[in-house]
Amino acid sequence: MRHSRDTSAVGALLGTRIREVRLKRGLSQRALAERVGIPQTHVSAMELGIQLPNLLTVLRLAVALECKVTDLVRVFDKADLQSILPK
């Protein structure tokens, strides 16, 4: 998915969370990419909020990071969802 202003807030929140969990696990972007089966550039793009992962990738990220899916997406529980959703 290409970067757009409509997804930048959502992407930034999720990307920051992916990076936090990855670093907590002591993984490089390359190591995470290998575990998930995607290019390292996709991990980088997700962490920068440029690319949003699809649901299958979120599930694979959770497995690779040895966490629950909710550990990755709970960041949205504290966000004002109306303000970050595309208009």
pLDDT at 80: 86
Residue 1 in this model has a pLDDT that exceeds 80: no
pLDDT over 60 at 33, yes or no = yes
> In the predicted model, what is the mean pLDDT of the chain?
90
Distance of alpha carbon 66 from its chain centroid, rounded?
14
pLDDT of residue 6: 52
Can you read off the two tokens belonging to residue 12? Answer: 């930034």
Per-domain boundaries in the chain: 5-75
pLDDT over threshold 80, residue 25: yes
Q: What is the pTM of this model?
A: 0.86
Which CATH fold would you assign to the domain 5-75?
434 Repressor (Amino-terminal Domain) (1.10.260)
Q: How far is CA 84 from CA 5, 64, 79, in A?
A: 10, 27, 8
The distance from CA 33 to its chain's CA centroid, rounded to whole angstroms, is 12
Tell which wins on pLDDT, 77 or 86: 77
Closest alpha carbon to 60 in 50, 48, 46, 49: 46
What is the residue whose two structure tokens read 């190591």? 31
